[in-house]
Every structure is written in structure tokens, then in C-alpha cells.
């Protein structure tokens, strides 16, 4: 599978699923096309809902069109315009799957689903279980004709793990 490199962000077609290699610092949300913010679900292991709200607003998006599944071991009291699920521990892959499945009901054709850091899931879950979760999310996103961007810090995973991750996606994108 060819990997494309882009230093200004990336775009996907409806239903297309991509493994996106991102820098270790910063948010993948900064790399999304403007239209992604019209209907966006973020499975976030790196940013609390308040931070995501700020990022969405900086990009000119409406936080009311964004849902968040907070993947964190810390409870977070968020009372803002984003739609959020209850926080779920990164080691609870079943809980993540349940929350994502419910949240996907609000993602329409051409919407976006972003998993902001696959590496965190790999740190807390067994690799084969993480792959099953990612398969499920990508498959469900594809069925809804939504764009899927599962983000990873390439240097933080082994070549073998990266190769296995690639098998799940339509294309790979490296953003610098």
C-alpha cells in the first residue's frame, strides 16, 4: 500500500479509511479538512473535551456538530456544547467499542470518525484486541460512508505492528 506524505493536512472520500501517521505533539484535528467539522466523532485518548472544543473553535467549526468519546482513566466534568459519552478507561476496549457504536448513530454519510491516538490503545490493550476494535470501528465507519482517520505516531510502534495496522485501512498517510 503506498503511503502519501502531506505537510498541510489530508482529505478522504466518503467511506475511505486511513491510517494516518502524525507527529507526536499536536492534535490530528489541526490536520483535518474544514468539512470534517460539519459532522465529526473523535475517539480521544489525548485531549479532554474542553481542549477539543477549543481546537474545533480555532478551526472555525461548530462544537455542537462534534461528538467525543473520552478515553481516559480520569473522570472529566465537561459541560459544554460538544456531545460526549461518559469517559472510558483506555484498557476497557469493550467499553470503548460500546460507546463508539452508540456515537456512530450520529455520524452521517460524509461525516468523519477520528481515533486520535492508536498508540495509547496499544499501550493499554492486547494487540489482537486493539486490532479487533480498530477493525470494528473502521468497518462501521465505512458502512456509514463516513471518513475514518486512525492516527498513530509511527516512530512509537514497531515495523511489525505498523504493518499489521496497515492491513485494516484503504490507505496510509504520513503528515509532517
Per-domain boundaries in the chain? 3-175
- For 102-111, what is the mean pLDDT? 95
Residue 2 scores a pLDDT above 70: no
Q: What pLDDT was estimated at residue 8?
A: 54
Place of cell 480498530: 134
Q: Return all residues near 54 (Cβ < 8 A) that are at least 6 apart.
A: none
Alpha carbons 94 and 74: distance in angstroms, whole number: 18
Contact in structure between 82 and 52 (CB atoms under 8 Å): yes
CA distances (Å), origin 153, targets 61, 65, 174, 175 = 25, 27, 10, 10
- CATH superfamily, domain 3-175, is P-loop containing nucleotide triphosphate hydrolases (3.40.50.300)
Say which range, 17-31, 57-71, 153-167, has the weakest mean pLDDT.
17-31
Instruction: Kindly tell me if the per-residue pLDDT of 163 is higher than 60.
Output: yes
Residue closest to 31 by CA, chosen among 52, 6, 67: 6
Greater confidence (27 vs 172) lies with 172
- The pLDDT score that the predictor gives to residue 7 is 45
Residue with cell 499489521: 164
State mean pLDDT over 133-157. Answer: 96
User: Looking at residue 76, what is its pLDDT?
Assistant: 73
Mean pLDDT of 76-89: 91
Amino acid at each position: 500500500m503506498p503511503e502519501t506524505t502531506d505537510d498541510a493536512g489530508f482529505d478522504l472520500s466518503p467511506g475511505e479509511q486511513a491510517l494516518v501517521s502524525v507527529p507526536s505533539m499536536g492534535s490530528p484535528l489541526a490536520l483535518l479538512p474544514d468539512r470534517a467539522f460539519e459532522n465529526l466523532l473523535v475517539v480521544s485518548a489525548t485531549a479532554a473535551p474542553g481542549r477539543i472544543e477549543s481546537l474545533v473553535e480555532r478551526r472555525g467549526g461548530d462544537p455542537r456538530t462534534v461528538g467525543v468519546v473520552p478515553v481516559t482513566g480520569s473522570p472529566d466534568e465537561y459541560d459544554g456544547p460538544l456531545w460526549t459519552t461518559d469517559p472510558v478507561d483506555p484498557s476497557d476496549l469493550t467499553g470503548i467499542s460500546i460507546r463508539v457504536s452508540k456515537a456512530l448513530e450520529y455520524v452521517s454519510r460524509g461525516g468523519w470518525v477520528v481515533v486520535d491516538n492508536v498508540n495509547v490503545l496499544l499501550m493499554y490493550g492486547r494487540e489482537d484486541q486493539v486490532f479487533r476494535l480498530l477493525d470494528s470501528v473502521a468497518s462501521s465507519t465505512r458502512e456509514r460512508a463516513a471518513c475514518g482517520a486512525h492516527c498513530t505516531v509511527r516512530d512509537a510502534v514497531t515495523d511489525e505492528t505498523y504493518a499489521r495496522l496497515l492491513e485494516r485501512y484503504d490507505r496510509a498517510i504520513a503528515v509532517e
